[in-house]
Structure 1
Amino acid sequence: MGVQLLEYQTTLKSRFTLSGVGVHTGKAVSIHFNPAEPDTGIVFQRIDEGASGKVIRALASDVGATDLCTGLGDPAGDHVATVEHLMAALIGMGIDNVAIEIDGPEVPIMDGSASVFVEAFAQAGIVQLLEKRRYIRVVKPVRFESGSSWAEFQPYDGTRFEVEIDFETPAIGRQSFATDFSSGTFAKEIARARTFGFIKDVERLWAAGYALGSSLENSVVIGEDHRVINMEGLRYPDEFVRHKMLDAVGDLALAGARFIGCFRSYRGGHRINAAALRNLLTDRSAFEIVEAARRGGGRGAEMIAVNAPLYAPWVI
């Protein structure tokens, strides 16, 4: 599978707003998406009362928490939690630069997947900018292990995800899903997979201040009898592993650039994804920065290595 070469950066064509509730805080929140200049990347700014207005970058170096979700910024100050579905939608739709204003501490959960964001981005429109897009190409294996869980990057001519999960409950069991990544594949095969949880864990999560906004409208819930209790059932037969892949896509989007390589994980999660990405980005011999270059003035293109500035987002 060859690399899907997108030569230039993109941004949104127009501003728009979405509103919903945070899955953990249970609080109403509005989020405003604005077109941004080249090399801005994805940036957040809290605009609610009491926030400092500090710009929070959607980068691995700014990850502040990985408990049940991925959070950016200072957990004791300005921060934005549960960014993974939104980040997955942005990278899945090929959007590089957006300035996001949010009036609360958590991205709204919407329907528990990335589909609402995907549809909104498509409706707002995406425009190409004049600056070249850069990629992180994996050139040697990098792995992170924790107990029976692991995640790794491998060199690959393209962008590929291979995710496997293993749960004791027969409602899930052992599932795997693998795909070469593209905008079309993301929208059709991954974006609609919803977050999931167990009814037996609800009281414990509530007591810890989590899942206060969770409901059957935004989560797949497994009951005490090990059955899915949502009346509409599953969107995919293997929706659970596809959602884990959705999370991985969003977590790895915090590299600050798309990667060329294969990401594999077994019994992974936000913490495992973040640790594997950090291992990759802190080993400068494990990757190189490349961009598309035309071959002899023709229509074809190839990836060539470029010198990355010291302030580049992939430098941790």
Structure 2
Amino acid sequence: MDTYFKQKTIARNVALSGTGVHSGKKNNITIKPAPENHGIKFQRVDLPGTQPVQALFKHVVDTSLATVLGSNGAIVSTIEHLMASFAGLGIDNVLVEMDEYEMPIMDGSAKDFTQVFTAAGVAVQGRPKHFMIVRKPVRVEQGDKFVEVIPEPCFKITCSIDFDHPLIGKQELTYDRAKNNFEKEISHARTFGFIQDIELLKKFSLGKGGSLDNAIVIDKDKILNPDGLRYPDEFVRHKLLDSLGDFSLLGMPIQGHIISHKSGHTLNHAFIKRFLENRDAWETGPAKMESNT
């Protein structure tokens, strides 16, 4: 059997440190293996007595600037890049210990997380994964933006963006878990922002940890990062990375094709809510007839 269909954890503890992009606060994190059916949980070790926060949609408390979870008196913020790394590598069960509320931004991508997990080793466990198998289309629209999912015998995600800026414009990308390599093709894509937006964030005491070391910064006619882009279409690749992180909060991988246009965290989470409410549009169980070519 393809090991994709088995639950996975990491083979040993890994540790990283970095600064939160909005808070500017240093966070030391340790990610530990966890048993089957544990799921992904965040433990605030700086708040003794608080229970772990499970990485599930029902615990999302804010999506205005990042994905924020909250439960039992603890919050964890800006988790989407780490969650994308778990989703991209098929990791189901870990405990993430952290001593601050905001995940470190690292270099603005999922690269550092992905590399430490790959170096530590991804351990295949005995029990099978369960999937959310899409049976009927579900769609959420907001003006000219939308997110939808359609039945498909494998997991795919297609993202498109359309920015009125000469350096971005229209970009579209499809990621097929059976054909594409997350680590090489998606994980290195960094978050991005426009110089005027970043200046505005800092006026409101946000973006304290942001710099050219952890984001692509765009001016009217140029990219300010000295080394330029990592991929010609890095912008849409990062939007796809964020989406992988957001949709992983369903708690199970999807068997279906997600298609999004001009979406962000808020619309992604509105879609998840609609998807979960449409109980006749999906079922849970082992994956069926997934193509592995």
TM-score (norm 1): 0.88
Rounded Cα–Cα distance in structure 2 between residues aligned with 1:144 and 1:52: 39
* CA deviation profile, 1:3-60 (whole Å, cap 9, x unmatched): x772321111111210000011111111110111111100001111x46422101011
- 8 Å Cα contact 1:46/1:52 also seen in 2: no
Cross-structure match for 2:65: 68
Q: Does 1:267 align with 2:262?
A: yes
- 8 Å Cα contact 1:94/1:183 also seen in 2: no
Gaps of 5+ in 1: 293-300, 304-316
Rounded Cα–Cα distance in structure 1 between residues aligned with 2:113 and 2:284: 28
**Equivalent of residue 206 in structure 2, options 197, 210, 214:** 210
Report SS of the residue matched to 1:54.
coil
Cross-structure match for 1:10: 8
Cross-structure match for 1:54: 51
Q: Does 1:82 align with 2:78?
A: yes
Rounded Cα–Cα distance in structure 1 between residues aligned with 2:283 and 2:180: 26
Report SS of the residue matched to 1:243.
helix
Cross-structure match for 2:272: 277
Amino acid at match of 1:85: H
Amino acid at match of 1:70: T
Cross-structure match for 2:19: 21
Question: What is the correspondence of 1:104-143 to structure 2 with a 5 Å cutoff?
Answer: 104-143=100-139
Rounded Cα–Cα distance in structure 2 between residues aligned with 1:278 and 1:28: 32
CA shift for structure 1 position 123:
1.1
- 8 Å Cα contact 1:92/1:182 also seen in 2: no
CA shift for structure 1 position 202:
2.0
Cross-structure match for 1:309: none
CA shift for structure 1 position 217:
0.5
Rounded Cα–Cα distance in structure 1 between residues aligned with 2:243 and 2:12: 28
Amino acid at match of 2:245: G
Question: What is the correspondence of 1:35-54 to structure 2 with a 5 Å cutoff?
Answer: 35-48=33-46, 50=47, 52-54=49-51
Rounded Cα–Cα distance in structure 2 between residues aligned with 1:155 and 1:251: 19
CA shift for structure 1 position 207:
2.5
Cross-structure match for 1:32: 30
Q: Does 1:180 align with 2:176?
A: yes
Rounded Cα–Cα distance in structure 1 between residues aligned with 2:229 and 2:85: 20
Amino acid at match of 2:214: N
Runs of 4+ aligned residues of structure 1 deviating over 3 Å after TM superposition are: none
Please provide the CA RMSD for this pair. Answer: 1.9
- 8 Å Cα contact 1:92/1:183 also seen in 2: no
- 8 Å Cα contact 2:3/2:124 also seen in 1: no
Report SS of the residue matched to 1:6.
helix
Gaps of 5+ in 2: none
- 8 Å Cα contact 2:153/2:255 also seen in 1: yes
Question: What is the correspondence of 1:84-99 to structure 2 with a 5 Å cutoff?
Answer: 84-99=80-95
Report SS of the residue matched to 2:181.
helix
Cross-structure match for 2:228: 233
Cross-structure match for 1:190: 186
CA shift for structure 1 position 302:
4.7
- Indicate the percent of aligned positions where both proteins have the same amino acid: 42
CA shift for structure 1 position 77:
4.0
Amino acid at match of 2:34: A
Q: 1:183 to 1:13 in 2, by over 3 A?
A: farther
- 8 Å Cα contact 1:163/1:264 also seen in 2: yes
Report SS of the residue matched to 1:174.
strand
Report SS of the residue matched to 1:128.
strand
TM-score (norm 2): 0.94
Q: 1:234 to 1:216 in 2, by over 3 A?
A: same
